[in-house]
Structure 1
Amino acid sequence: MSPDPRFDGPGPEEVWLTALKEGRFLLQHCRTCHACRFPPALVCGACGSSEIEWKEASGRGTIYSTTTVRERDNNYNVSLVDLAEGARMMSRVDGVSPDEVRIGMEVQARIVAEPEPIVLFAPSAGGAS
């Protein structure tokens, strides 16, 4: 029995974090069914294939849903973003008040160190769709 190549080298989470540290926003794409997935995993969530490759993301997305988290000193939003590539990820939209984030709003990703790098979004020039 030959070893499973999915376990050779760094795991999906490590690849994702290393890319972010390098300022690159990567997403996994299935070579079998062409689905894009997030969060990173060893197999495609759509078809179960292990034929996964990493591709640079456009960073473009649309708000699918959002909520405002209200704290005594600070309010912020938690949003689900439908990425142009087809995956959905949870993040937040910065640059506007949490109450201004709307479903359908077009956003653009950026990588921010907080202290580890994360993907955040800002409203894009296109606004709401």
Structure 2
Amino acid sequence: MAKERSIPAPMANPETEPFWAAAREGRFLIKRCTACGKAHWYPRACCPHCMSEATEWVESPGRGTIYSLSVMKRAPEVYAVAYVTLEEGPTMMTNIVECDYDSLAIGQAVQIAWRPTAEGGPPYPVFKPR
């Protein structure tokens, strides 16, 4: 089995702290604009669709599909970098784990998983095939 990359602990700020606090509980939060109704990723106070500051945190089931991917094979590491489109609409850059890297495909259904970060930081979201 390939060794997974070590990811440093994130530097939280007031805009992202609720996300990382929920991640410590195994919950995946995204932002939704209450003005235009659209969800967005990455977490930020201002809606990128309509520029409203009327945003709220909502819990996501963390399901999506692979939009694009690239498998990196650098011994001893093998990893997949992908864009995953969430059921709520936003597309996020992430890694695909717990899979046969040669069988990954665009349009494949995926589900959120969590990986620890270095220095005891909160876990970060990745995806695995479902």
TM over 0.5: yes
TM-score for both structures, normalised by structure 2: 0.83
**Cα distance, 1:95 vs structure 2:** 1.5
- Secondary structure of 2:96 counterpart: coil
Runs of 4+, deviation exceeding 2 Å: none
The runs of 5 or more residues in structure 1 that have no matched partner are: 1-9, 125-129
Compute the TM-score of the two structures, normalised by the length of structure 1. 0.83
C-alpha distance in structure 2 between counterparts of 1:17 and 1:114, whole Å: 11
Q: Does 1:46 align with 2:49?
A: yes
Alignment of 1:6-85 (within 5 A): 11-85=14-88
Q: Give the 3-state SS of the residue equivalent to 1:110 in structure 2.
A: strand
Distance of aligned partners of 1:31 and 1:121 in 2 relative to their CA distance in 1, 3 Å threshold = same
User: Greater relative contact order: 1 or 2 (C-alpha under 8 angstroms, separation 6 or more)?
Assistant: 2
What one-letter code is carried by the residue in structure 2 that aligns with 1:37?
A: H
Structure 2 Cα separation of the partners of residues 22 and 75 of structure 1: 28
Any unmatched runs of 5+ in structure 2? 1-12
Q: Supply the AA of the counterpart residue of 2:64.
A: G
Q: Give percent identity, aligned residues only.
A: 34
Larger radius of gyration: 1
Pairwise CA RMSD:
1.3
Give the Cα–Cα distance (whole angstroms) in 1 for the partners of residues 22 and 91 of structure 2: 19
Deviations 1:58-82 (A, max 9, x none): 1110000000112121211001000
Determine whether 1:114 maps to 2:114: no
- Report the Cα offset of residue 26 of structure 1: 0.4
Deviates more, 1:21-30 or 1:109-118: 109-118
